[in-house]
């Protein structure tokens, strides 16, 4: 259950906290990345995002001092783009992804973004349902977007 403070209850008094990702977090984030995606980003890709891309900001979700999810966003002038969102499979269904995305949406709005976009696999109905719940709507299709199986991507947009 997401709270405005960036914490949510998972089990009892334990909570998930969301904070900005640091270079030191790349190792644990790669565990999440490999758990979530067939074609994971490399350590170098995350390092470049954190150190060289001035438009990029990444956040991690922690539970019991372990990184269990992350979300990245680019904010360029008045538009934001979610680069990726992932949660360890054993923590899915606890609204960790929703909490991360809500946090990223608030961050982007605070940075001046008026709209946000993302791509999602056309076959990933669970993710699409989350995005629609948070106000995203269908914007178009990117044909053969995913390199591992040529699946199309649904582009989704929301006004912030």
Q: Which residues have a catalytic role annotated?
A: 119, 131
| Positive/negative CA dihedral, 82, 132, 119, 147 | positive
Neighbours of 13 (CB within 10 A): 6
**Rounded Cα gap, residues 29 and 73, in angstroms:** 15
**Rounded Cα gap, residues 143 and 158, in angstroms:** 21
Residues 109 and 116 sit within 8 Å (Cβ to Cβ):
no
CA distances from 56 to 60, 87, 148 (A): 14, 19, 25
């Amino acid at each position: 259950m997401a709270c405005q403070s960036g914490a949510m209850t998972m089990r009892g008094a334990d909570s998930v906290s969301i904070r900005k990702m640091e270079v030191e977090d790349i190792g644990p984030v790669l565990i999440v990345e490999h758990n979530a995606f067939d074609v994971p980003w490399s350590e170098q890709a995350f390092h470049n995002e954190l150190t060289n891309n001035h438009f990029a900001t990444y956040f991690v979700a922690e539970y019991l001092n372990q990184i269990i999810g992350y979300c990245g966003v680019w904010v360029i002038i008045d538009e934001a783009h979610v680069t990726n969102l992932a949660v360890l499979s054993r923590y899915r269904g606890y609204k960790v992804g929703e909490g991360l995305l809500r946090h990223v949406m608030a961050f982007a709005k605070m940075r001046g973004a008026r709209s946000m976009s993302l791509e999602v696999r056309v076959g990933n109905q669970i993710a699409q349902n989350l995005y629609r719940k948070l106000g995203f709507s269908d914007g178009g299709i990117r044909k053969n977007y995913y390199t591992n199986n040529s699946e199309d991507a649904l582009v989704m947009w929301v006004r912030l």
